[in-house]
Structure formats: structure tokens, C-alpha cells
Amino acid sequence: MKKIMMFTIREHEREAAKAWAKNNQVEVTLSEDVLNMETVEQLKGYDGVTTQQTGKLDDRIYERLNELGIKQIAQRSAGYDMYNLEKASKNNIIISNVPSYSPNSIAEYAVTSALQLVRKTHLIEQKVMKRDFRWQVPIMAKEIKSLEVAIIGTGQIGQITAKIFNGFGSKVVGYDLYPNEQAKQYLEYKESIEEAVANADIVSIHMPATADNHHLFNEVLFNQFKDGAVFINTARGSIVDTKALLQALDSGKLSGAALDTYENESTYFPKDFRDKEISDPILEELMMRQDVILTPHIAFYTDIAVKNLVEGGLDASLSVINTGTYETRVN
């Protein structure tokens, strides 16, 4: 029987993993450990590995995996920026992801966050908690129907987000390095990000983190936004210069931001810090601000997405073990 190690197992994944193991007649070890230079030694005698890395992997790990006879790492997420694909390939390690486990889960969350900011529900809730039931200008909302939405990155998630905003009757514009025909049903493409954000009341980003887009959303770009816009990031933290975002909020250029990802999140998300110190003043500021909705990289977290992620990771691992490749390999 083949043996697969499932690192970073979370409580919500156990049931789907056990069911998959039974259906596929594979021995799957469920471990809460994170894959690193120490835990890689646990893979002696295993055929494959699936994990859910959040931070960068030590580059030496690929060589060690090769020595241990492991041929792949199946990442249980869409993003795979935590892997060094060149180093992996050099050591004959196939990296795979689960590119499409439920684009709806993230799109729906992006829209939910935008609605919270625009309809001021997070502010209203805070006031009600203090027994302040007055109708006041700071909690007067706009109607989503009357707004323009910019979708930056019009792949799977971006398109569904655009489609949902179409349902509200909003005007939806978009920008992508590679515009696609299907997205044109739901949005009007602009030639540049600057053009796309210029008149948008809501800007929602849906692109992967790449070497080229680190801090793409910086002071210069935020200055191109429409005054009072809200910014939604359910993509990747590194795409946004958080200090510049805070300045844009302070100056009133932006009226709010919903951040499901944060550039230095890997120390904190998704961990329990209730009794621990947070030594990141920027993160603390994001947590405290009334104009920011900060969530711990949770946009994907639905029952459907979790099942698809578990099965997608294990399918990829088993396929590389048995056939030497898999359709979702990324290197």
C-alpha cells in the first residue's frame, strides 16, 4: 500500500482525508507538523507528501526530499509562491497546487467584505454593542447598484466576483495582464490598472503574487484611486505596500479596506495568539482600525472548498507517485 504524509492537517480536513484514504486504498498519515528541514526526516519510508505551506520553504528541502526518494509536494492551496520552483525542478520534485477548489468561496467573500465596508455594517455593529442606536452620517451607506467596481486580475475568482457585482447592477470594469473573452461578459476592460481604478468606488484584487507585482499597490498607485474608494485584498499580502495603504486611509484617499491577506501574515495566520504577544505594530494597527476589516486568510474557508482541497492535494500526490506527473503540476 502506498504511503502519503499529510502535513499541516487541520481539524476540518480530517474527515475528508480519511474518506479519501479508504476510497483509494492508500495509507495517509495525518500530521499537524509543518514541513521543514526537521520534519522532512519523517518522510523516510513514504511515497508522497501533501502540505499547506504558508511561509517560504527552506531551499535545502528539495535536495533532501530527492535523497529520501520523494518525487513531489502537493500544496493544498491555489497559491504556490512559497516554493522555489527552480530548485524543486533541479531536484526532480514536482510541485502541484489545487488551482480551482472553489473560486466561489473567495469571490463571495470579497463581495461580502465590500458590502460590509460600503454598507458600514462593521461600524453599525460596533455602535449597537455600545447601545448607540442613532442614525448618523458616518453610518449612512451608499447603494451597491450605484457604484463602479474595478476587478484587478480577471481569472476564475475575479470573473465570479464581477458576475456577482453584475447582479447588484453595479458598473464593473477590469484589468488583467492577459484579458480573456469570457470575462468580457461581466466587465469592461481598461488598458491599465490606473485607468481601471480611476473611477472605481470598490477595487478588488484577484491576481497571484509574482516576482513582478511585489508592492504593486503602493503610494503612487493609491494616489490614482478615486477619493473615498474601498480596497479589497483577498489575493496576496505581498501585492500591497501596507504602509502606503495605511497612509491612503489616514489621508482619506481610501475610506476603507478589507484585507484577508497581509504581507507578514505567515507568523500569525491561522494561529491562536490569544495569550501571546504580537510583535508587529502594523498588524496591530490593522486589527484596531475602524476603517479596516482584517481577516486571517479565511476567504476560501467553506465546506466545499475544504473537501476539494483535501482531495485535490491527495489526488495530485498519488498521481505523481503512480504516473510521474499530474495535471495541476506547476513546474
Chosen residue from 71, 120, 190, 206 binding ligand NAD by CB under 6 A:
206
Catalytic: 191? no
Active site residue 297: yes
* Window of 66-74, 112-120, 173-181, 220-228 that interacts with ligand NAD by CB under 6 A: 173-181
In three-state secondary structure terms, 194 is helix
Nearest Cα neighbor of 70 from 7, 18, 125 is 7
Tell me the C-alpha distance between 50 and 203, whole Å: 34
* C-alpha cell of residue 160: 465570479
Catalytic hit among 297, 311, 327, 329: 297
- Please report whether residue 161 would count as binding ligand NAD according to CB under 6 A: no
Taking residue 103's Cβ as centre, other Cβ atoms within 10 Å add up to 20
The verdict on 236 binding ligand NAD (CB under 6 A) reads yes
Taking CB atoms, the residue at the shortest distance from ligand NAD is 155
Q: Could you give the string, one character per residue 70-99, with x where binding to ligand NAD holds by CB under 6 A and - elsewhere?
A: --------xx--------------------
Binding of ligand NAD by 158 (CB under 6 A): yes
Question: What gap in Å lies between CA 231 and CA 254, rounded to an integer?
Answer: 7
Question: Which one of 177, 220, 278, 330 is in contact with ligand NAD (CB under 6 A)?
Answer: 177
Site for ligand NAD in 9-68 (CB under 6 A): none
Q: Is there a catalytic annotation at residue 14?
A: no
Burial 22-58 (b: 16+ CB within 10 A, else e): eeeebebbeeeeebeeebbebbeebbbbbbbbbeebe
User: Binders of ligand NAD among 111-150, rule CB under 6 A?
Assistant: none
Q: Is 103 in the site for ligand NAD (CB under 6 A)?
A: yes
3-state secondary structure of 180: coil
The backbone torsions φ and ψ at residue 120, rounded to the nearest 5 degrees and listed phi first, read 60, 25
Interface with ligand NAD (CB under 6 A): 78-79, 103, 106, 152-158, 175-178, 206-210, 213, 234-236, 260-261, 297, 299-300
